[in-house]
C-alpha cells in the first residue's frame, strides 16, 4: 500500500499485478507535503522495531485496512486505485516467481501442474510461503459488506495505459513504468494448463473472475 497525502492518492498493492513497477514510479511522491517527514520517520521506526509498533500499512494491505484506520473524510477524499490480473495468468507468474526467488518452497515440485495441485489442495493447510496470490483479489477492494471501496481498478493486461489514467487523476506527469521482477522464459499462460488445473483455478477464483470480467480463453 502506498499513501501520498500531498497528491491525495492511495495505491492498494495486490501481489503479482505489476504493483512493484507502480510503486517504483510513484514512491517519489510518498513523503512530500506537510506530513511527509512524520510519515518517513514513522516508516523508519516501524522497520527498526521489526514492524512491532504497526506505524505503517503493510505492503500488501487491503483497502479495508486503510478505511478502518484513516479518518473517514480523509479516506473518502483519496483517489484509491488498484491493479488486478487474470487469475490463470497470475498463477503462472506466481510459479515462476517462487521457483526463482524461493526454490526451497517448491522442493519436490517440478511442474506447474504439481504446483497448482499443491497450492489449492483442500486437505493441506495454506502455506503462506506459496505467496499471497492464493488470496482473492476481490477481497482487496471491498469492505466487510462486499461494497466496492476503491475508485479505479486498472488491469495488468493494460498496465501502462491504465497507469497513464492514474497519473492524470492524481495530477502527476505521465511516465513509463519500469520493468520490475519481469519473468523471463515463460510462454502464454494457457499453454501451462490442463482442463483440470484450469478448472481448479477457475473455481477458487470464481468471485474474481465474475467481478473483474476475466476468462480463460
pLDDT at position 89: 96
Strands 9-12, 152-155: parallel, antiparallel or unpaired by DSSP?
unpaired
CB 152 within 8 A of CB 79: yes
pLDDT in tens, 69-120: 999 999 999 999 999 999 999 999 999 988 888 888 888 889 999 999 988 8
Q: What is the pTM of this model?
A: 0.87
Can you list the domains of the chain with their CATH numbers?
2-212 (3.40.50)
pLDDT in tens, 17-70: 999 999 999 988 887 767 667 666 767 776 777 766 666 677 889 999 999 999
pLDDT at position 200: 96
pLDDT in tens, 149-194: 999 999 999 999 999 999 999 999 999 998 765 666 678 999 999 9
Alpha helices in the chain (DSSP H): 19-26, 36-48, 63-69, 72-77, 87-101, 112-119, 159-170, 195-204, 206-212
pLDDT at 210 > cutoff 80: yes
* Close Cβ partners of 93 (under 8 Å, ≥ 6 residues apart): 16, 85, 133, 183, 186
Averaged confidence pLDDT in the chain: 88
> In terms of C-beta density within 10 A (0-12 exposed, 13-18 middle, 19 or more buried), how is residue 18 classed?
buried
Amino acid at each position: 500500500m502506498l499513501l501520498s497525502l500531498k497528491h491525495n492518492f492511495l495505491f492498494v498493492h495486490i501481489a503479482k499485478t505489476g504493483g512493484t513497477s507502480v510503486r517504483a514510479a510513484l514512491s517519489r511522491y510518498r513523503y512530500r507535503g506537510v506530513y511527509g517527514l512524520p510519515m518517513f520517520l514513522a516508516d523508519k521506526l516501524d522497520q527498526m522495531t521489526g514492524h512491532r509498533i504497526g506505524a505503517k500499512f503493510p505492503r500488501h494491505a487491503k483497502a479495508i485496512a486503510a478505511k478502518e484506520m484513516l479518518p473517514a473524510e480523509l479516506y473518502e477524499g483519496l483517489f484509491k486505485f488498484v491493479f488486478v490480473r487474470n487469475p490463470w495468468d497470475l498463477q503462472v507468474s506466481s510459479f515462476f516467481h517462487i521457483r526463482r526467488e524461493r526454490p526451497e518452497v517448491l522442493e519436490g515440485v517440478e511442474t506447474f501442474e504439481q504446483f497448482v495441485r499443491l497450492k489449492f489442495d483442500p486437505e493441506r493447510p495454506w502455506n503462506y510461503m506459496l505467496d499471497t496470490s492464493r488470496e482473492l483479489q476481490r477481497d482487496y477492494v471491498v469492505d466487510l459488506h462486499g461494497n466496492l471501496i476503491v475508485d479505479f481498478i486498472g488491469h495488468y493486461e493494460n498496465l501502462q495505459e491504465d497507469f497513464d489514467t492514474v497519473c492524470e487523476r492524481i495530477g502527476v506527469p505521465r511516465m513509463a513504468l519500469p520493468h520490475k521482477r519481469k519473468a523471463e522464459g515463460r510462454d502464454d499462460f494457457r499453454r501451462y494448463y490442463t482442463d483440470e488445473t484450469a478448472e481448479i483455478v477457475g473455481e477458487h477464483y470464481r468471485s474474481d473472475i465474475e467481478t473483474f470480467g476475466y476468462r480463460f480463453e
